[in-house]
């Protein structure tokens, strides 16, 4: 940013967007909320925001964790208010990201009042409140034509942690569905209050814990029994309490019927390539956390690159070892005013279906693709096809495996190994999967050896022997195994086969009841 633009920015007031993220499922945020995250310069968030939602944020945004937790407020509300005003006065566009809806017991009204008083422009972007979204994911309709014609949303927690003044009589006599938010620590007292005002001890009640996540669960009882059942189940926040006839509803358990329900899966592909795999996993019921451990950084300058692209017509073969290589190469040609005509005479090799798909989107069908999608088999197939003396161009990552080059040179080819992008490592400060990894309820998916290395660097002190790694290709699996992970390898190096591996493992675990599949080498 130039000094002039920076000065102009400091002279204007920014804007604050109070955005509801919905419950924890990343796909429950609104389209507008997602767009604002992508455009935000500052994102102020707390605990009830799912980690996956934060990945919609701009890479250049500054993230401020105000992490409110049950019984522990590391940053007081007054200080949060000051942060919003301060950042907006710097000329920043600020997203204040809240779980659920910002105005349903989210203190969004208080923050809006502070902003209005300070003269800060603001907008409110509604979100799906947990009072409705969580019951939906656990098969409970909060209204039902035959069972409940009204919904009462009640907080069971005051600012100081004590029980608020709840008008139990009106709730006990009003009928309909009652949803208590933030009530885990006061569950027993709340049920006693309802019983004391005449509610039947046999009225159905349920506690819904960690709704819309892979760890969600439903404890069903009655007003007279639910406190004891929740205590025995060791329920923890976040959880909501639901009272009414709909709590006993048993005909809508759609979420748990999907094959990967109850499974959290970490996707480590680069940000621009993770969406397809994440969508496939979510379709099967998994909770997906997209945390790219690497990013693609194009090499845009340098004599070797300029010389190779200027003389691309002199080559007989061009070999692509990744979709990223295709994308970066295409863009570099475009910058030099070259198009597909400059490659018309070339034979093209691709390492696998993903790379071939990227080429087809460009208008090319590969002349050669190995039956097994890895570098060894690509090198073997090329060595049998390339004529001695032919020039071969391999535009790929700077740290590419040299075995492919060696095989081609042994076959008499004249190889130009052209680095067109670097693989750089990302960090993800929001990862909170340690407990899930240790219990086996979270798996990590790796599509290349570099994604494994990036994960190891970012995971810090995580016990990697507790990590279940689902891998594409033997090289990727080998890297994960050397790091100490429990490794599983897809039958073929495709995303569909990787998802099928997860489905197979989920079936095996359900059938044998042991809770974990046997890794590579132990089957």
Bridge partners of 486?
468
Is 33 domain-assigned? yes
* Predicted pLDDT at 164: 80
Question: Do the beta carbons of residue 208 and residue 135 sit within 8 Å?
Answer: yes
Pairing of strands 317-320, 347-350: parallel
Instruction: Point out the residues that are catalytic.
Output: 46, 68, 182
- Claim to verify: residue 370 and residue 475 sit in the same structural domain: no
- Helices marked H in 233-322: 275-283, 303-310
* Predicted pLDDT at 4: 42
| Pair of tokens at residue 450 | 């570099």
Residue 447 pLDDT > 50: yes
Question: Do the beta carbons of residue 114 and residue 76 sit within 8 Å?
Answer: no
- Claim to verify: residue 287 and residue 340 sit in the same structural domain: no
Is 523 domain-assigned? no
Domain boundary among 425, 456, 487: 425
Domain boundary among 425, 456, 475: 425
More confident residue, 272 or 414: 414
Confidence of residue 402 (pLDDT cuts 50, 70, 90): confident
**In the predicted model, what is the mean pLDDT of residues 9-28?**
87
Per the omega criterion (within 30 degrees of 0), is the bond before 351 cis? no
* Predicted pLDDT at 338: 83
> For residue range 336-384, what is the model confidence (pLDDT) as tens digits?
888 888 888 999 999 998 899 999 999 999 999 998 888 888 999 999 9
- Claim to verify: residue 144 and residue 249 sit in the same structural domain: yes
- Claim to verify: residue 158 and residue 114 sit in the same structural domain: no
Percentage of the chain lying above the pLDDT 90 cut: 64
**In the predicted model, what is the mean pLDDT of residues 443-455?**
92
> For residue range 223-250, what is the model confidence (pLDDT) as tens digits?
999 999 999 999 999 999 999 999 999 8
**What CATH number does residue 456 fall under?**
3.40.50.10090
More confident residue, 107 or 302: 107
Is 521 domain-assigned? no
Query: Which structural domain, as residue segments, surrounds residue 492?
Result: 258-293+426-512
Percentage of the chain lying above the pLDDT 70 cut: 91
- Claim to verify: residue 305 and residue 421 sit in the same structural domain: yes
Structurally, how many domains does the chain consist of?
Answer: 4
Residue 201 pLDDT > 90: yes
Is 234 domain-assigned? yes
**In the predicted model, what is the mean pLDDT of residues 32-37?**
97
* Average predicted confidence (pLDDT) for the chain: 89
* Predicted pLDDT at 374: 82
* Predicted pLDDT at 272: 65
Residue 79 pLDDT > 90: yes
**What CATH number does residue 224 fall under?**
3.30.950.10
Residue 418 pLDDT > 80: yes
Domain boundary among 127, 150, 180: 127
DSSP assignments along 369-418, one per residue: --SS-SHHHHHHHHHTTSPTT-EEEEEEETT--THHHHHHHHTT-EEEEE
**In the predicted model, what is the mean pLDDT of residues 19-47?**
94
Is 7 domain-assigned? no
* Predicted pLDDT at 516: 62
- Claim to verify: residue 321 and residue 439 sit in the same structural domain: no
The reply to whether the predicted model has a pTM over 0.75 is yes
Residue 202 pLDDT > 70: yes
Is 385 domain-assigned? yes
- Claim to verify: residue 351 and residue 370 sit in the same structural domain: yes
């Amino acid at each position: 940013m130039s000094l002039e633009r920076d000065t102009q920015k400091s002279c204007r007031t920014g804007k604050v967007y109070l955005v509801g993220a919905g419950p924890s499922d990343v796909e429950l945020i609104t389209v507008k909320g997602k767009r604002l995250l992508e455009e935000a310069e500052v994102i102020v968030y707390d605990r009830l925001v799912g980690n996956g939602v934060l990945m919609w944020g701009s890479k250049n945004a500054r993230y401020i964790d105000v992490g409110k937790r049950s019984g522990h407020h590391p940053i007081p509300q007054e200080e949060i208010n000051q942060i919003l005003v301060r950042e907006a006065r710097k000329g920043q566009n600020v997203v204040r990201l809240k779980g659920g809806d910002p105005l349903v017991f989210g203190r969004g009204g208080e923050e809006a009042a502070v902003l209005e008083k300070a003269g800060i422009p603001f907008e409110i972007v509604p979100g799906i409140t947990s009072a409705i979204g969580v019951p939906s994911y656990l098969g409970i309709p909060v209204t039902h034509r035959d069972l409940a014609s009204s919904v009462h949303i009640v907080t069971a927690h005051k600012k100081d942690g004590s029980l608020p003044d709840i008008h139990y009589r009106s709730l006990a006599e009003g009928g309909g569905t009652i949803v208590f938010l933030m009530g885990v620590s006061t569950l027993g007292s709340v049920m006693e209050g309802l019983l004391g005002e005449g509610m039947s001890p046999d009225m159905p009640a349920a506690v819904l814990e960690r709704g819309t996540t892979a760890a969600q669960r439903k404890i069903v009882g009655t007003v007279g029994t639910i406190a004891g059942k929740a205590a025995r189940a060791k329920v923890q926040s976040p959880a909501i309490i639901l009272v009414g006839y709909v709590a006993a509803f048993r005909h809508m358990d759609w979420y748990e019927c999907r094959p990967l329900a109850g499974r959290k899966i970490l996707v480590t592909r680069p940000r621009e390539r993770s969406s397809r795999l994440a969508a496939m996993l979510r379709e099967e019921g998994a909770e997906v956390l997209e945390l790219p451990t690497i990013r693609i950084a194009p090499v845009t300058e340098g004599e070797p690159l300029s010389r190779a692209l200027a003389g691309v017509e002199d080559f007989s073969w061009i070999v692509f070892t990744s979709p990223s290589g295709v994308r970066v190469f295409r863009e570099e040609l475009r910058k030099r005013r070259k198009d597909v005509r400059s490659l018309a005479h070339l034979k093209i090799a691709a390492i696998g279906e993903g790379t071939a798909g990227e080429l087809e989107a460009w208008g090319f069908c590969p002349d050669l693709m190995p039956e097994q999608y890895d570098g060894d088999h690509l090198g073997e197939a090329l060595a049998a096809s390339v004529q001695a003396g032919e020039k071969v161009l391999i535009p790929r990552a700077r740290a590419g495996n040299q075995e492919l080059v060696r095989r081609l040179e042994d076959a008499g080819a004249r190889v130009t190994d052209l680095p067109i992008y670097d693989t750089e490592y990302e960090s993800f400060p929001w990862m909170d999967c340690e407990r899930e990894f240790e219990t086996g309820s979270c798996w990590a998916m790796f599509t290349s050896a570099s994604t494994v290395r990036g994960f190891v660097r970012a995971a810090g002190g995580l016990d990697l022997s507790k990590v279940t790694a689902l891998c594409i290709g033997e090289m990727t699996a080998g890297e994960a195994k050397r790091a100490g992970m429990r490794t599983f390898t897809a039958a073929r190096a495709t995303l569909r086969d990787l998802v099928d591996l997860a489905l197979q493992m989920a079936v095996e675990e359900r059938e044998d009841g042991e809770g974990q599949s046997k890794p590579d080498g132990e089957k």
